[in-house]
Chain A
Amino acid sequence: MKLTGAEIIVKALEAEGVDVVFGYPGGAVLPLYDKLYDSPIRHILVRHEQGAAHAADGYARATGKPGVCIATSGPGATNLVTGIANAYMDSIPIVALTGQVPLPAIGRDSFQEADITGITLPIVKHSYLVRDVRQLAATIHAAFHIATTGRPGPVLIDLPKDITIAQAEFEYPPQLSFRSYSSAREYSPTQIYQAAKAIGESRKPVLYVGGGVISSGAAGELREFVEKTQIPVTTTLLGKGAFPETHPLSLGMLGMHGTKYANYAISYSDLIIAAGARFDDRVTSRLDTFAPHAQVIHIDIDPAEIGKNVRVHYPLTGDIKQVLKDLIPRVEVPQIKEWLQQVEQWKADFPLSYTKEEGVLKPQDVVEQIWEITKGEAVITTEVGQNQMWAAQYYKAIHPRTFISSGGLGTMGFGLPAAIGAQVGRPDAVVFDIAGDGSVQMTSQELATAVQFQLPINIAILNNRYLGMVRQWQELFHGKRYSQTDLVETPDFVKLAEAYGAVGIRVTRDEEMRPALERAIASPKPVVIDFVVAREENVFPMVPPGEPITKMLGG
């Protein structure tokens, strides 16, 4: 039977197991939206396409399934760009469907025409412009395959309007043959043996764990590996939740705003076992002073990550879950009693800390309260800046896929739409967006989405009326010249929430914190809590730019 392109898209999405999409209609996607109208696929109508991309991203991170977003041609498509770049930098599987002007109109500067495959070229894992309706089903199937296999990432499909109207036979799944793409990676038994031997011989080993462990679904194997070897674990921002931070062998996060003990452990170690992490500059700071005594085992599915930033002595290119399964029975337990004592000493000597002051709300305290009241079982999203770093430092993630943050791109405005996506994917979870007053204003229109779809997300704004992280850098490195970081006028967030039909609560005193959080969690509506916090609180410890990670300010 012949179907129209729009019908093929909907059928293909259903066949791929998609039950929810995030999108915004428009002229070029009218035929598609007409078919979605009859489909069981749930459509979450965002208020700006950037919100659709971030929500799909948050959905993917919270559930492990690919997120799907839809936008119309031209401005609809360009509004997705930041969200696609965000997913690309953090290796998140999303499939973006964009409308396009009809094929004959392409290249004529038609109304709402934008070369979105061209624009997104450097920020997608792959992209397609569909030129033949007979290729449509295969293209969609390929897009989902590419987005979710190997190192995950965003795939964009540009859909000219006439393609969605034209007809073709529909068969699913179509035959796929990729001579040019294989997600299978290889490592040899010898490499496993050598890595296992190096671990057994090490005296000061550290596991350095990133988001790859979560996307590989390898948290269980990691736990087993650690239980056997007793090697301490530090995670990146994206690795939070891959290993419970409540575990005695957890060192929390490392890097620019990591714990001192994590940075010391890395810097004095003789063997770093990197798993699904990419030696990002926010982790290593100066590369020539990074972990000077350590050999490196690097486990990653992406061969291009091996040796990209640091020299790797034992590469293991493959799926982390499988690599760990192969390593666990072969690894010899290293003699590291003294090392663990040293690490414990650092933990005791240099704990994360902040000072409480009478009558002033401390942002760190807010994050700790959220952790305590949810027992660490919530799904956390963050914005970007100080709020994000305090969340990373003081919210001890326990499970994979419960700490969702824009790491690589550092996208302000990510947290609120990501919380929407996470709540859609995990309707029973308590979801908190730990936000700043600056970031949250970049996508605050999505409050309307949360209200319309009755998503009981909680937005905890750490409100200091500053662009806090930039202000902190200005304080420390630019002689306190606060150029354009004092927001002066921020909206009344309580009224803003109420204007959208959400609940707004303001908290100015310590004793109001718990009741406000309890009320928020109990509320079936979205809640905005405006925590009026100490204005000039800084995130410490901090590695100043260009310094080795052992040279930390404060804390």
Chain B
Amino acid sequence: MRHVLAVLVENQPGVLTRVAGLFSRRGYNIESLAVGQTHEPSISRMTIVVDGDDRVIEQVVKQLDKLIDVIDVQDITDVEYVDRELILIKVNAKPSVRGEIMQIVDIFRARIVDIGQRTLIIECTGDEGKIRAIEKSLKPFGILELVRTGKIAMVRGPKYEEDQKEDAV
């Protein structure tokens, strides 16, 4: 089963390598990893999507937690969370089909961010299902390039750790 991990790490050189290295060394299946600085500049936050049974995930969490630069690991799979991905798609768009493409873009509340002579670049954010759907819809026109960020996720409601602490008592 796929799990979503929210990981806080020290914003230091080499941290990403340590995390990625841990996954390859222990043979865990990483599906996506997104990382960036948080509102606290010395801390980065990673969203890691990893595939495995409960025992594997338990090990992933514990092994991640052992890395000195990892501050906190939360498996948020089973709580209510918001997740988003960003995708850029360069698609074949000769003038005769542009109208159709623009309709699709509208439906998905995506945006056209570049127009070439025979191409369009489309930007779309959304959860995984939406991203998959727009990709599928644009495929018939001929996708020339595609890049996506990997999932980022955040738990709904109050700050997750504080919430957890209250629960634990």
A492 to B18, CA, bound (A): 47
Least CB separation from A125: chain B residue: B68
A217 within 8 A of B: no
Query: Are the CB atoms of A126 and B71 closer together than 8 Å?
Result: no
Query: Are the CB atoms of A304 and B66 closer together than 8 Å?
Result: yes
Query: Are the CB atoms of A303 and B62 closer together than 8 Å?
Result: yes
| Chain B contact residues: helix, strand, loop or mixed | helix
A442 within 8 A of B: no
Query: Are the CB atoms of A117 and B68 closer together than 8 Å?
Result: no
With a 10 A CB-CB cut-off, give which of B9, B14, B25, B55 has the most chain A CB atoms.
B14
A118 to B14, CA, bound (A): 9
Query: Are the CB atoms of A304 and B62 closer together than 8 Å?
Result: yes
Rounded to whole Å, the gap between the CB of B96 and the closest CB of chain A is 51
How many of chain B's residues have a CB under 8 angstroms from any CB in A? 20
Query: Are the CB atoms of A304 and B63 closer together than 8 Å?
Result: yes
**A173 to chain B: which residues have CB within 8 Å?**
none
A121-139 interface (Cβ within 8 A of B) = 121-122, 125-126, 129
A179 to B9, CA, bound (A): 10
A37-72 interface (Cβ within 8 A of B) = none
B59 within 8 A of A: yes
**B55 to chain A: which residues have CB within 8 Å?**
307
Given contacts A179-B71, A308-B59, contact A302 B25 (CB under 8 A): no
Residue in contact with B71 in the complex, picked from A117, A122, A129, A180, CB distance below 8 Å: A180
* A168-185 interface bits toward B, Cβ cutoff 8 Å, 1 = contact, 0 = none: 000000000011110000
Rounded to whole Å, the gap between the CB of B43 and the closest CB of chain A is 9
Query: Are the CB atoms of A122 and B66 closer together than 8 Å?
Result: no
Least CB separation from B18: chain A residue: A121
B122 within 8 A of A: no
**B58 to chain A: which residues have CB within 8 Å?**
307
Given contacts A118-B17, A121-B21, A304-B59, contact A180 B66 (CB under 8 A): no
A146 within 8 A of B: yes
Rounded to whole Å, the gap between the CB of B140 and the closest CB of chain A is 45
**B10 to chain A: which residues have CB within 8 Å?**
180
B65 within 8 A of A: yes
Rounded to whole Å, the gap between the CB of A400 and the closest CB of chain B is 25
**A303 to chain B: which residues have CB within 8 Å?**
62, 65
Least CB separation from A121: chain B residue: B21
B25-73 interface (Cβ within 8 A of A) = 25, 55, 58-59, 62-63, 65-66, 68-71
Least CB separation from B63: chain A residue: A304
Least CB separation from A127: chain B residue: B14
Query: Are the CB atoms of A181 and B68 closer together than 8 Å?
Result: yes
**A125 to chain B: which residues have CB within 8 Å?**
68
A181 to B72, CA, bound (A): 10
Query: Are the CB atoms of A146 and B18 closer together than 8 Å?
Result: no
Rounded to whole Å, the gap between the CB of B116 and the closest CB of chain A is 37
Given contacts A122-B25, A179-B71, A307-B55, contact A302 B66 (CB under 8 A): yes
A181 to B67, CA, bound (A): 8
Residue in contact with A146 in the complex, picked from B9, B63, B68, B70, CB distance below 8 Å: B68
A129 to B17, CA, bound (A): 14
Rounded to whole Å, the gap between the CB of A163 and the closest CB of chain B is 15
Rounded to whole Å, the gap between the CB of B39 and the closest CB of chain A is 16
Least CB separation from B25: chain A residue: A122
A541 to B10, CA, bound (A): 50
Residue in contact with B17 in the complex, picked from A121, A126, A181, CB distance below 8 Å: A121
With a 10 A CB-CB cut-off, give which of B18, B21, B25 has the most chain A CB atoms.
B18
A302 to B67, CA, bound (A): 12
A181 to B66, CA, bound (A): 8
Query: Are the CB atoms of A180 and B14 closer together than 8 Å?
Result: no
A304 to B63, CA, bound (A): 6
A196 to B45, CA, bound (A): 41
**A308 to chain B: which residues have CB within 8 Å?**
59
A104-154 interface (Cβ within 8 A of B) = 117-118, 121-122, 125-126, 129, 146
A302 to B55, CA, bound (A): 16
Least CB separation from A122: chain B residue: B25
Residue in contact with B70 in the complex, picked from A180, A302, A304, CB distance below 8 Å: A180
A229 to B22, CA, bound (A): 41
Query: Are the CB atoms of A126 and B21 closer together than 8 Å?
Result: no
**A121 to chain B: which residues have CB within 8 Å?**
17-18, 21
A122 to B55, CA, bound (A): 21
With a 10 A CB-CB cut-off, give which of A118, A125, A179 has the most chain B CB atoms.
A179
Query: Are the CB atoms of A180 and B69 closer together than 8 Å?
Result: yes
**B14 to chain A: which residues have CB within 8 Å?**
117, 129
B residues sitting closer than 8 Å to A (CB atoms) are: 9-10, 13-14, 17-18, 21-22, 25, 55, 58-59, 62-63, 65-66, 68-71
Given A180-B69, A302-B66, A304-B62; 5 other pairs, CB 8 A cutoff: A121-B17, A122-B25, A129-B13, A180-B71, A304-B63
20 contacts between A and B (CB under 8 A): A117-B14, A121-B17, A121-B18, A121-B21, A122-B21, A122-B22, A122-B25, A125-B68, A126-B68, A146-B68, A178-B68, A180-B10, A180-B71, A181-B68, A302-B66, A303-B62, A304-B59, A304-B62, A304-B63, A308-B59
List the 3 closest A-B pairs by CB distance, nearest first: A304-B62, A126-B68, A180-B71
